[in-house]
A and B are shown apart, each in its own frame.
Chain A
Amino acid sequence: MPIPNHGFMSTKLLYSALLIHLLLATAAGQDSTSYVSQGSFDIIRLLNPWLSGSNPAGMAFNPELYPGEMKLDYYSEKGDYKQVQHGDKLNSYSFGTRSYSKIGNSLFYGCFNYNKSFEKGTDYTNINDPGRETPYLLTDSIGGDVYDRELFSIEGKMSTPLGHAIMLGLAGSLDVGLATQDRDPRPMNKVLKLSLSPGLVFSLPSIKIGVNLLYSYYNEDIEIDIIEANKEHDFFQMHGLGTYIFHEARSFNRLYKQNRIGTEGQLNYKHGNINNMSAIKLQYATETADDGRKAGNASWSYIKNDSRLDINSMEAFNTTTISKNSFIHYLDAGLKISGMLGTEIIQRLETSGTTGATNWVTYAEEEKFDASRLDASLAYSLIKMKDLYLRDYEVGFILNYNSYKQSYYIPDRKEGYANISASLDMGRSFYIGRQVLSISCGLKYKRNISASLDFAEDSFFYNELLLPDHIFTTAGYYAPSIDLGWETEINKIFSKYFFNTSIDLYLADNDRHRTIFSFSTGVIF
């Protein structure tokens, strides 16, 4: 019997988001509809490097283009080139709308998205996103599950001038979702993510300096039930690199809570046709995993602290845009370094002799896991514009290097790898009367340059999880892709109708493959 997915908050959230969105769009008027196209949001990003950073105040430097979009998306993935805990097949349907608006001197951006997806063939996972970087996963020994997910996202940003040379910005987003499985053991994951970021930009004649603060909160509340009468399952509280504590139970509850704080500083230099922007972002996050079980058939019914994960990260990027005649040269260099430190909390359930109260008593907090990741990228694009905000053609390439190391101590286990990848993309838009046809194609290539998995034991999780995932992350691939878009003007409330479809085919050198298909259709206003 599947657990009913009630789609909580759906009606209220949907109506509220649409109302806000349409109010903003209507209030702003539509002065620039003739320029808007499918690529408008990308063009804005290209012309305003502040949008590559996280400071919402930088939105003030957007070009005079206020596009809006409302669309339906279908997205699918299929194939065996994947991580073990991801599904063999993913079908995702979404409705989304977003727009920029200007009211007085203030600029607004709003976005709403509703997504429903079915991920089939997920193995051993009880958490909503097993790809979320944490060693403290919650797994079972059952494969072939289906994850049914429903996610609502709202995002809002505003930027307003404070006097002559200061811009104030505020950004916020809220994601709420529910994910369920329909085979025992059946987790129900309630996911919430809240982000807030206030920022300032000080504008001088040719230099702009910005700073913003970042705060986000993530919460995943997992309640696992077993519907089959008198049946128990094993639950594994993973601690990194195949280490775990396990319990056999009829139900299990876990709560992840993550608080993240950070700041980003930006420096923008603009002179003539050169627009250069540098930014550095520092973030710290701490995430706890607590286990609590229901009474009744449970081994205990009190909250046990399982682990804590501390994450530090530094991100830096520099983008340069050079506009010359109708050409734009875009150069971007980015670097992200992050480190994780995992702490296991050793507790014992004890009863106080005087009061009879039973509690988990902490004996030690032990640092047992660490990991570091480095991502570096270099990108260049040449864009030929047809008009001020309309693309003619584009050629670009990206080089990427990433490395990852993780260690568990006693028993000592290590994994490390480094990959390089490159991609080449080119696209062109054909303007045929009131219609535009856009075609682009690309090729991605990935190659592993080093890999090690130092692991002595031959265990279930080594064979079923660690080793296949290691092979996946270190496998090279070729990935050709093709993208086709069409749009036509409609002289109604909306400016244009469009559809877009793309296919990416990943051909890995371990004889595995994965096909990604997407289709979008909607209106631009």
Chain B
Amino acid sequence: MKMKLHLTYIAVLLFIFTSCVKEVADYNSYTIELKVNFGEEVSLQNRDSARVVLNNLTKNYTHTQYTTAEGDVTFKNIEPGFYSATVIHSFGEDGKAYYLNGLLLLDVFSDIIDTVEVVISKTNALVVKEYYYSGCLTPAGKQYSADQYVEIYNNSGLTQYADGISVFEHESYSLSDNYWEFISDTIVGRAIWTIPGEGNDYPILPGNSIVIARDAINHQDDSLGNPLSPVNLEYADFEFWVETISGDDIDGPFAENMIEDLFTYRGSDYVFHTRGGSAIAIIRIPGNAEERKDFINNNLICKPDIPSRFYGKIPNEYVIDAVEVTWDEAHAIYKRFPIELDAGYTYVEAGSRSGKCIRRKVKEIIDGRYIYQDTNNSTEDFLKDADPKPWIYEY
């Protein structure tokens, strides 16, 4: 009897201690109910089964659901965190293709009921076909980025003119929240470089492209180049050339120099952020060169802590094509372009100095002319680790 009591006592003690020591996680999970607002332009029969991708921006995984005919979608058992909800949808009507994009950034720390607005993308005549910013390594293992370039492609069936088209670089490097989010319908940039011309000087034929190089040289052969560079840009159409007394920037002999309209952090050379900080757009500011310059000068803005540093404000309506390039998935949280300009984001997954670029996907080939995909969503439209191939059109 005494032994039995002893054992019971030990068992009770063990139970109490075990209960005290054992820890059970009291975790949270939430439900996200989203309604996709298609607007009045999209008929009821075209609203069914729109794809909605919920992406955990910190941990880099996604959940995918499809909307009901009413445009509703529900994600259950979602862990707390920072997410993006992307709507990707397309349909054909009256022989035309329509692309719908929507993006909503969500801080999920409670159940959420929200609406995702979608925009019907307009198909641009001029699009960014390739953007090579990552740079590469020299045989000595040193960083080389002078071979960066942007390629603009005429995706339409009509001749387009490059005259007055500007390359715009967003002010933010996507390291924290976009400071300029409070200014609606406007993007703010740190650099604007414009193609010269009076309006008809630089035609781009249908299915052709122009290349704007950082340094228009044969990077693979030139003594100032890098034999491991993936590109020869000697015959680039245009060049970002910074005129300085020191003459540090290489001035390629065959390329036209771009007009430096705004260069906030002016140095001896113009460089895109090699890790993906430079989100770019191609824009067209109305008017001639003088009017464009006046517009930029009259729309400068600065941050209160550095009143002497000016950035350029550009209305969204001047944007022809925007590419939200970022560092990686985790930095997509700091998106800069609004969804009507770019509903997604992209980046070179292989990283800085990888010699890789982002390239727009080919949608189809019509009469030998490549048509590149342009749904206004970089996540969908671009290949992430493509080999740079300027002026070459292929799948």
Identify the A interface with B (CB < 8 A). 228-232, 243-248, 299-300, 310, 312-314, 316, 335, 337-342, 346, 348-351, 353, 355-356, 358, 363-364, 366-372, 407, 409-410
Contacts and interface: CB of A to CB of B under 8 A. Distances in A.
A232 B351 contact: yes
A interface majority secondary structure: strand
A353 B25 CA distance: 36
B59 A245 contact: yes
A230 B331 contact: no
A313 B330 CA distance: 37
A460 to B, nearest CB: 13
Contact of A410 (B27, B140, B141, B304): B27
Contacts of B352: 230, 232
Contacts of A310: 23
B176 interface: yes
Interface string B20-47: 1111111111000000000000000000
B107 A363 contact: yes
Nearest to A284: B21
16 contacts: A229-B141, A232-B352, A245-B59, A346-B58, A348-B333, A353-B179, A356-B304, A356-B305, A358-B176, A363-B109, A364-B28, A366-B27, A366-B28, A369-B25, A410-B27, A410-B79
A103 to B, nearest CB: 40
B25 A230 contact: no
B80 A346 contact: yes
Contact of B29 (A228, A337, A351, A410): A410
Nearest to B136: A230
Given A229-B141, A230-B137, A364-B109, A409 B27 contact: yes
B133 interface: no
A31 B79 CA distance: 68
A248 B328 contact: yes
Given A310-B23, A358-B176, A371-B23, 20 more contacts: A229-B137, A229-B140, A229-B143, A230-B137, A230-B143, A230-B353, A244-B59, A245-B330, A248-B351, A299-B175, A314-B21, A338-B21, A341-B25, A346-B80, A351-B179, A369-B25, A372-B23, A409-B79, A410-B29, A410-B77
B132 to A, nearest CB: 17
Contacts of A342: 25
Nearest to A363: B109
A399 B301 CA distance: 76
B303 interface: yes
Interface string B123-155: 000000000000001001111000000000000
Contacts of B77: 410
Interface string B304-324: 110000000000000000000
A243 B141 CA distance: 33
Contacts of B140: 229
Given A312-B20, A337-B18, A356-B303, A350 B25 contact: no
A313 B82 CA distance: 34
B21 A312 contact: yes
Contacts of B21: 312-314, 337-339, 372
Contacts of A348: 82, 333
A368 B79 CA distance: 9
A243 B327 contact: no
